[in-house]
Structure 1
Amino acid sequence: MTEEPRIQHCNLSGLLHPFTAGIFGRSEILGLNGSSDAWFTAGLLARKEQDQFLLVVTSGQAEAQRFYRALSFYHGRQSDILFFPHWETEPYAPLSPHPEIEATRLATLAALANGRGKAVVTTVKALQQKVLPRNILDSLRLQLEVGSEIQREVLLQGLSSLGYQRAALVEDRGSFAVRGDLVDLFPPMLEQPVRLAFFGDELEEIRSFDPVSQRSSDQHLVRLELAPAREMILAGSHLETFTRRCKERCDDLEIPRSQREAILSEVREGLLGPGRENLLPLNYAALDTFFDYLDRFCCLILD
């Protein structure tokens, strides 16, 4: 005889009590309407004593965004709540993910690699897609600190190697601009772009600025750690890996040399045509899964 599931009725405050010491096994909670699911999850984050990370999985992007905003509100510390969206493009479609989506994904991966955050909200589709290897992300860092010295060409080369695109004005994440002794850039993990002021090779000031008015704010930073701005790093050994594997794959598929060289010519110039992000597996010897960025976690699935 099959045992019937045991149903226990209680209010939300009472429901949180059994989870105070942690989440173990499998539990199903019904009847959480509106934003009560986010309120309940914020209660879990506030009460659980162990160092488990909370992974929240939703069925779609809109639901993930709703839950992320609600959980950030109820938890009260937005830096603890991370968001990892999927690309919103169909596989192999000649379309590129929106720069804001790619920036959000990279900021979340960087935070997880550094052990920051308490929860991450994502989607089933995002978990299915492999990502930039964690060991490569850890190795691709550029440290800047007020008072330190760095040669202009070294800095610009470093930004290019991290996937930053040079522009006339910095308005989007992952771009940088040079104007005399000023270098503007928009790191993926920051809410606003920053302006680096140099005196010769010495970094005198790091200040945030408004991307719309281009006016500097009163917010100063002492140091800045830059992570990659794109998931595909087309510089150095990674460019060599991409070139070699692209040639091998084109030969396997008997793709004409003219088409192969057109792709490689774009890549060598640091340009990516629409949909080229689907060539990410050729950029590295192997990709990681999102779970490779999570050490010890419990999972909450929203249905």
Structure 2
Amino acid sequence: MSKIGIAGLQLEAINGDNTDSIEAEIDAVARRYQWVDMVVLGELNALGSNLKFAQPMPGGEFEARFSEIAKRHGIWLIPGSIMEKSGGQYFNTAPVINPDGEVIARYRKQFPWLPYENGVTPGTEAVVFDVPGVGRFGVSICYDMWFPETLRALSCMGAEVIIHPTLTSTIDREVEQCMVRAHAASHQCYFFDVNVAGPLGVGQSIVAGPGGEVIHCAGRDREIIPLRLDLSYVRDVRANGWHGLGQPLKSFRDSTVPFPCYEKSYSSPALDALGPIKVAEAETGRKTRE
């Protein structure tokens, strides 16, 4: 067995409590698509980005509620992410809940979207989890994929599917769609990217296969994306190349090329000259608002 049914829920959301509507949507998907094994939502879909909605994990109402939903339907559930409060710090965290309603992993976003995602502490650990009889999955959140090292860590840990909750409301969404395809191809995996719809996000979720091919690209509005994926296809591509072409994971494994920029002692005058991360200044010289 290597097949799994995954439903991405591209849902409309406000910057506040959306949990009631999300629960209704999951209930509807479970009734209509009884072959679905896993449900994935967008980043910060449930409670928005305001730190006042941050909760402890474990022990918060968010995880308890979604754990009950997963157990009721017997599904794997990655309910997007929420702001987690822990020891005076805030993290953008996505829990992984199994069909018994148990939180088996939590992934903290490693690259908060600075300078806009202020006050959020970066996570430090890559997260993968196994679906018994199916395969290995990795978790990434939104801006993380702009840093290829985060995806390299997941593929090196054996991830065959990357689950990627996203919250993008900006004009660079098309660029992100290109990145999803490129990462899927370079890491020879399924890449399941779920964005939030309006008014918080611009939708356009995308799922790509291990050759970088588009399996589905959503529109801007609410959309339910139920797909059946076969991980034996990923294993064939990794073993033989996509349509018998490149085998990049093997080439990376076998490479002896040193990369000085990854050494702890490395210093880049070019990067240092860029200055601090800050909000872009107005072209007219007018001060931007803090």
- TM bucket, shorter chain: under 0.3
Higher helix share: 1
